[in-house]
Structure 1
Amino acid sequence: MTQKKVLTIAGTDVSGGAGYSADIKTFEDHDLYGFCALTTIVSMDPSTWAHRVHHVPLEILDEQIETALSLKPDTIKTGMLPNEEVISRARKAIEKSGADYFVFDPVMVCKGDDTVLNPGVVDSMQKELLPITTIVTPNLVEAGNLAGMNTPKTIDEVKEAAKKIHEYGPKYVVVKGGTGLEGDNALDIFYDGEKFYGLYADKLEKAYNHGAGCTFAAAVASNFTNGLEPLEAVKEAKAFVTSAIKHGSQMNEHVGVVRHNAYNKVDKVNVQAKEL
């Protein structure tokens, strides 16, 4: 049987934990064929781990997308889209592709930072990408920005943000609350336009979480591609990434990365889904 194909339009991560590296590893672990069009090349200062982001020239991105679309992806996922021009190209690629699903990971901030790297991308994401999105996977900071409100801190505020995001047009919204919401569990919230569901996993004492957001979105894309129903797709993606965090490893003094194959190789953690 021919493998189904998933295209990621995303940036690099030389440490291998996040970006297109996380996507390709995750697709492979779901028995899918993954390939990529690179938007940025990112390196880190070894002494401080400060990120050095280099944009791929637009004409080179155009050539990559041309090649990628000729391979006829079943699903497209996006990661780092650094500016409005790249967002516009991603939209045109998605519309042209004929792909069944578009999974939008709205990368707009550095981990642990509330400052949007390029404020212009928020408006562009709202207008160009959300209306054609199958499912969008923001963290709390990204959800607040997409919804035009402060970063949500409570379950009710997450619900409000998800509703506002849904009004832009995506079929489904899943907000990654993780350990940032109240309660004893790591909680993500899924909204299908009518009902809210909480996705509950145990909070982890020691978490190697670099790459977790990319890995979660890639797992969601994989599960949609493999035919899972939307709620089951996000539930299984959360289990996949929770295992990856639980069994991650410290790479150096600055960063600990997730283990992308942990769910299938080491430990299938339990995730519960309950209507809120």
Structure 2
Amino acid sequence: MVSKALTIAGTDPTGGAGIQADLKTFQELGVFGMSVITSVVSQNTLGVRSFVDMHEEFIESQIDAVFEDIRPDAVKTGMLSNPSAIAIVAKKLKEYNVSQYVLDPVMVASSGHELISQEARQSVKEELLPLATLVTPNLPEAEALTGLTIETIEDMKEAGRILVEEYGVKAALIKGGHYKGEADDYLYNGTEFLKFSAKRFDTKHTHGSGCTYAAAITARLAEGDSLNQAVEHGKSFITSAISNPLEIGKGQGPTNHWGHRLTTK
């Protein structure tokens, strides 16, 4: 039987991030992708222009439409810009007893545009983190969630500890894309830290990399991988997507969602 994954997130009309990036990733990894739109975003590789949030009743209706027909094996959330949307998603995750849930805490676009209110940040911590199988913050997001200033590897690990031991998420993947040196990520599962390493590539074309990484992990969880296996596969997928740039767009271009095909040749 085909594995199925659901993304609950905002859009990107240029296709590099958000819902569009998630669905491309699901497809590339052989998983049937479904989507619930939380915000319609006007953006491109140069930045975010504006966005319109979907009403919470419409978000709820979309989620119900999916689960009442084609139940996903794993769920990912991305852009949830306000407390009302977060409350609805949390309610539905509990109602449908979702066991594989990846929380990508989208807070700031690659261009630097704020995508979430301060009130929503608190709602993420209180309502979504306790439900998540995995949270995947980059360093600015980890700082926003924990209140830490992250400058060292130990700071990254401490952020992971706080997210798991104080906020209740089952596991935290602190991504090192904004850190110096190699692109090392640290997964904390409440017992141990695991490091996932990759060479850092000198490219500006990383638009949508966080969405794509989390979507790849979600796809592998839907396929039945363990969390460690899913993160390992996700790391490999995003590394291939970044290391085989498409070099399109006038700004920070998108990652290459079929880069893994080139890497494995």
TM-score tier, shorter chain, comes to over 0.9
Cα deviation for residue 250 of structure 1 reads 2.6
Q: Which residue of 2 aligns with 1:161?
A: 159
Distance in 2 separating the partners of 1:124 and 1:87: 7
Q: Distance in 1 between matches of 2:43 and 2:102?
A: 27
Whole-angstrom distance in 2 between the partners of 1:232 and 1:87:
28
CA contact (8 A) 1:5 1:32 kept: yes
- Letter of the 1:202 counterpart: K
Question: Which residue pairs with 1:210 in the alignment?
Answer: 207
Contact 1:72 1:97 in 2 (8 A): no
Q: Flag the 1:19–1:50 CA change in 2: closer, same or farther, 3 A.
A: closer
Deviation (angstroms), 1:148? 2.3
Q: Higher relative contact order at CA 8 Å, sep ≥6: structure 1 or structure 2? A: 2
Alignment of 1:185-204 (within 5 A): 185-204=182-201
Q: Which residue of 1 aligns with 2:262?
A: 266
Q: Which amino acid aligns with 1:171?
A: K
Deviation at 1:73, TM superposition (A): 1.4
Q: TM-score if structure 2 supplies the norm length?
A: 0.93
* Distance 1:207-1:232 versus aligned 2 partners, 3 A rule: farther
Moved over 6 A (4+): none
Alignment of 1:17-96 (within 5 A): 17-44=16-43, 49-70=47-68, 71-96=70-95
- Between 237-246 and 56-65, report the one with greater CA deviation: 56-65
Matched-pair contact (CA < 8 Å) for 1:87–1:129: yes
Return the alpha-carbon distance in structure 2 between the equivalents of residues 134 and 95 of structure 1: 13
* Partner residue in 2 for 1:119: 118
Residues matched between the structures, number: 263
C-alpha change, 1:18 and 1:223, in structure 2 (3 Å) is same
Distance in 1 separating the partners of 2:91 and 2:249? 39
Change beyond 3 A, Cα 1:128–1:50: closer
| Maintained 8 Å contact 1:243/1:268 | no
Map Cα deviations across residues 117-158 of structure 1 (whole Å, 9 max, x no partner).
4111121111101111100100101111111223x1210100
Contact kept? 2:13, 2:44, Cα under 8 Å: no
Gapped regions of structure 2 (runs ≥ 5): none
Partner of 2:127: 128
Taking a change above 3 Å as real, the CA distance of residues 30 and 140 of structure 1, as seen in their structure-2 partners, is same
Aligned residue type for 1:186: A
> What TM-score do the two structures reach when normalised by structure 1?
0.90
User: 1:199 and 1:268, CA in 2 relative to 1: closer, same or farther beyond 3 A?
Assistant: farther
Q: In the aligned structure 1, how far is the partner of 2:133 from the partner of 2:234?
A: 15
3-state SS, counterpart of residue 176 of structure 2:
strand
Label 1:170 to 1:6 Cα distance change in 2 as closer, same or farther (>3 A). same
User: How do 1:183-262 and structure 2 match up within 5 A?
Assistant: 183=181, 185-262=182-259
Query: In 2, are the aligned partners of 1:207 and 1:248 still within 8 Å (CA)?
Result: no
- Between Structure 1 and Structure 2, the one with more strand by share is 1
2:106 match: secondary structure: coil
Change (3 A) 1:119 1:252: same
Gapped runs of 5+ residues in structure 1? 270-276
CA distance in 2, matches of 1:220, 1:10: 16
- In the TM superposition, residue 192 of structure 1 has moved relative to its aligned partner by 1.2
Give distance in 2, aligned partners of 1:114 and 1:158.
23
Percent identity over paired residues:
35
For 2:81 and 2:116, the matched residues in 1 are separated by 8
**Aligned partners of 2:224 and 2:83: how far apart in 1?**
32
Contact 1:240–1:268 (8 Å) recurs in 2: no
